[in-house]
């Protein structure tokens, strides 16, 4: 499995990125990392470590405080475009970046295109009751009822690929009873009852770390992002995910925290390689096409 890795993304780039790449190939020698960044920077870092990795040139990065879509559109030589171009061209099996999620998503959508109208950031939270797929964790900032339904279909297909049969889909809300929540939740609840997913009703904040009523938890990107960061910080558990999947783009693309250290970057690379190995994309397409027929 060949993973295209953004050398310029993240607070601790490029050192943490290159160290993460070397850790990943050390842990799984079947994984090949293609560094995407300025060749002189890559060469110097590799020489200092006495290591060899493939390098594909790209010179621009998108800053945290930059408007992501505009930044990516204007920077044709951005690393977040090139990692996805390699996937599109078949030169890599998956793309990884720990740069700003919005920029990585923009790079993925512009370069790979979409599987569905509204891609989402999906995170798999391990719980005692099995994995919980939480989405959207930050791809969109304004939620609409139709988007939440699209996330339900997408998350459901992802859970099936992960091995969950007939995944139960829950709507994140402030109470379990129907009729709870704001206008967005009330409208989404009504639509979800008609959607081609196994909708089990409202779930609450505690159902994400605890698991239980739902295998897939759908929410708007604002709430999902806030929730995920809070759970990560509150939790003493070491098994929390260090990588998220851009779900709904036409390729395997994994994002990590901007604060990622080498170990986190390695986890992202190995996660991306594993998803590509499992045939995530063809399997997602297959499940989604079945859903479309059902709807």
Question: Which position among 11, 206, 289, 290 is part of the footprint of a copy of itself (CB under 8 A)?
Answer: 206
Of 14 and 221, CB closest to a copy of itself? 221
Q: Would you count residue 221 as binding a copy of itself (CB under 8 A)?
A: yes
123, with CB counted inside 10 A (0-12, 13-18, 19+), is: buried
Number of residues that bind a copy of itself (CB under 8 A): 41
CB 39 within 8 Å of CB 282: no
- Distance between CA atoms of residues 243 and 255, nearest Å: 6
Q: Would you count residue 233 as binding a copy of itself (CB under 8 A)?
A: yes
Of 30 and 238, CB closest to a copy of itself? 238
Q: Would you count residue 141 as binding a copy of itself (CB under 8 A)?
A: yes
Q: Would you count residue 163 as binding a copy of itself (CB under 8 A)?
A: no
The two tokens of residue 145 are 């009822």
Task: With contacts defined by CB under 8 A, name the span among 24-32, 59-67, 187-195, 248-256 that binds a copy of itself.
Answer: 59-67
Which one, of 182, 188, 184, lies nearest residue 201 by Cα? 188
Task: With contacts defined by CB under 8 A, name the span among 77-85, 194-202, 206-214, 274-282 that binds a copy of itself.
Answer: 206-214
Of 39 and 222, CB closest to a copy of itself? 222
Q: Would you count residue 61 as binding a copy of itself (CB under 8 A)?
A: no
Of 27 and 237, CB closest to a copy of itself? 237
CB 241 within 8 Å of CB 123: yes
Question: Which position among 223, 260, 262, 284 is part of the footprint of a copy of itself (CB under 8 A)?
Answer: 223
Q: Would you count residue 11 as binding a copy of itself (CB under 8 A)?
A: no
User: 3-state secondary structure string, 126-148?
Assistant: EECCEEEEEECCCCCCCCCHHHH
Residues 6+ apart with CB under 8 A from 95: 3, 4, 5, 6, 83, 84, 86, 87, 108, 251, 252, 253, 254, 272
User: Minimum distance from CB of 8 to a copy of itself (Å)?
Assistant: 18
Of 169 and 228, CB closest to a copy of itself? 228
- Distance between CA atoms of residues 190 and 186, nearest Å: 7
- Distance between CA atoms of residues 280 and 278, nearest Å: 6
- Distance between CA atoms of residues 76 and 107, nearest Å: 10
Q: Would you count residue 232 as binding a copy of itself (CB under 8 A)?
A: yes
Q: Would you count residue 283 as binding a copy of itself (CB under 8 A)?
A: no
Radius of gyration of the chain (CA): 19
| Contacting residues toward a copy of itself, per CB under 8 A | 64-65, 67, 138, 141-142, 172-175, 177-179, 181-183, 185, 204-210, 219, 221-223, 225-237
């Amino acid at each position: 499995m060949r993973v295209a890795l953004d050398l310029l993304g993240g607070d601790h780039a490029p050192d943490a990125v290159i160290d993460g790449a070397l850790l990943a190939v050390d842990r799984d020698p079947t994984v090949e990392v293609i560094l995407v960044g300025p060749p002189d920077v890559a060469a110097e870092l590799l020489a200092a470590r006495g290591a060899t990795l493939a390098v594909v040139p790209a010179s621009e990065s998108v800053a945290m405080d930059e408007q992501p879509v505009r930044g990516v559109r204007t920077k044709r030589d951005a690393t977040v475009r090139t990692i996805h171009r390699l996937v599109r061209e078949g030169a890599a099996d998956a793309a990884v970046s720990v740069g700003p999620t919005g920029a990585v998503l923009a790079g993925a959508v512009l370069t790979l295109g979409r599987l569905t109208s509204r891609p989402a950031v999906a995170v798999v939270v391990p719980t005692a009751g099995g994995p919980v797929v939480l989405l959207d964790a930050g791809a969109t900032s304004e939620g609409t009822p139709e988007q939440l339904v699209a996330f339900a279909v997408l998350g459901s297909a992802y859970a099936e690929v992960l091995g969950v049969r007939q995944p139960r889909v829950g709507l994140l809300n402030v109470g379990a009873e129907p009729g709870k929540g704001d206008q967005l939740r009330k409208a989404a609840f009504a639509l979800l009852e008609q959607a081609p997913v196994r909708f089990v009703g409202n779930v609450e904040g505690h159902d994400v770390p605890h698991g239980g009523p739902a295998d897939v938890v759908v929410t708007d990107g604002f709430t999902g992002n806030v929730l995920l960061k809070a759970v990560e910080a509150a939790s003493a558990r070491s098994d929390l995910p260090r990588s998220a999947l851009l779900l709904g783009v036409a390729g395997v693309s994994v994002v990590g925290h901007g604060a990622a250290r080498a170990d986190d970057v390695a986890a992202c690379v190995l996660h991306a390689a594993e998803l590509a190995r499992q045939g995530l994309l063809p399997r997602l397409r297959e499940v989604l096409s079945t859903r479309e027929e059902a709807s």
